[in-house]
Structure 1
Amino acid sequence: MSAAYLNQYFEHQVNAASPEQLLIMLYNGAIRFIGEAEEFMVKGKIAERGMKISRVIDILSELSATLDHEVGGEIAANLDRLYDYRIRELMKANLHDDLEKLGMIKKMLTGLRDTWLDAIDKVHAEMAAEASEGIAKKSEAAPVGYRPLAVAL
């Protein structure tokens, strides 16, 4: 596949994604870039490592900028501080060639991503249950003699 085709495909994926999917995509990207930065650190490829760490910093900055402090309250404030702290830690890890620090940041981001995945799954399950409940209530209130249309005969 050509790079142009891959970029077009990725752009479509981003444009078609829900906010939850975008959040997970950002976390996955940050985790992947930290892994790549770790590899470059081991190989002594300073410029490449710096580029990957910069990508992680960009992602954390974006996650921080999109926090809704009115809705999120204390949780949003805590995440904002956490992202800021991790950005500073990434800079230190890059400056001091600290592989262990990169690993700790990757572990933290993986934990946050997994927590978001659990929360998203829970919300989707609750929405599905509410939708099923709503359908059941509608069918209970159906007029006498009402027969739903049989789609597959």
Structure 2
Amino acid sequence: MAYQQYQAYQNNSVNTASPGELTLMLYNGCLKFIKQAKKAIEAKDHQTKNEMIQKTQKIIRELMVTLDQNAPIAKEMMPLYDFVYNKLTQANIKSDLEQLEQAREIIENFRDTWKEVIKQERIRQYGKGVNA
């Protein structure tokens, strides 16, 4: 019963989230899957490592596809997304924690920056700070 309530909450969170909040959720998902991939590499669990890295790569591909190419920042972000995607590929092929860590650092920076953007937008809209 509690699991069903949690699932309903999660679905509602996604369905009612703004585009900015959805992007933040995607970055958080990447970080969660990278953490699980790291544990899997350390445990030599190749199947879980592969699944977690592939989930992260799917999110990165989605971020790449939905990136507004007309936005000035797109020219700077697309190569970074591509870099992260390639680091994830190498981490998966070689079970390389260093490659995985490099991808994690960039995604974490994106996430932290995006959180600040959302916070500033809320301050602008509502005139007060709201935790993202």
TM-score after normalising by structure 1: 0.76
Larger Rg: 1
Mark the runs of 5 or more structure 1 residues left unpaired by the alignment: 130-153
* RMSD of aligned residue pairs (Cα, Å): 1.6
Task: Report Cα offsets for 1:67-117 as digits up to 9, x if no partner.
Answer: 1112x12x1122112111211110111111111111121111111110111
Q: How does 1:1-16 map to 2 (within 5 A)?
A: 1=1, 5-16=5-16
**Rounded Cα–Cα distance in structure 2 between residues aligned with 1:8 and 1:128:** 28
Task: Report Cα offsets for 1:16-58 as digits up to 9, x if no partner.
Answer: 1111110110000000100000000000000110000000001
Q: How does 1:55-70 map to 2 (within 5 A)?
A: 55-70=55-70
Residue identity (%): 31
Offset of residue 2 of structure 1:
6.2
Mark the runs of 5 or more structure 2 residues left unpaired by the alignment: 128-132
Offset of residue 127 of structure 1:
2.3
TM-score after normalising by structure 2: 0.87
Task: Report Cα offsets for 1:106-147 as digits up to 9, x if no partner.
Answer: 111111110111122112212234xxxxxxxxxxxxxxxxxx
8 Å contact 2:21–2:118 — kept in the other structure? no
How many residues align? The count is 127
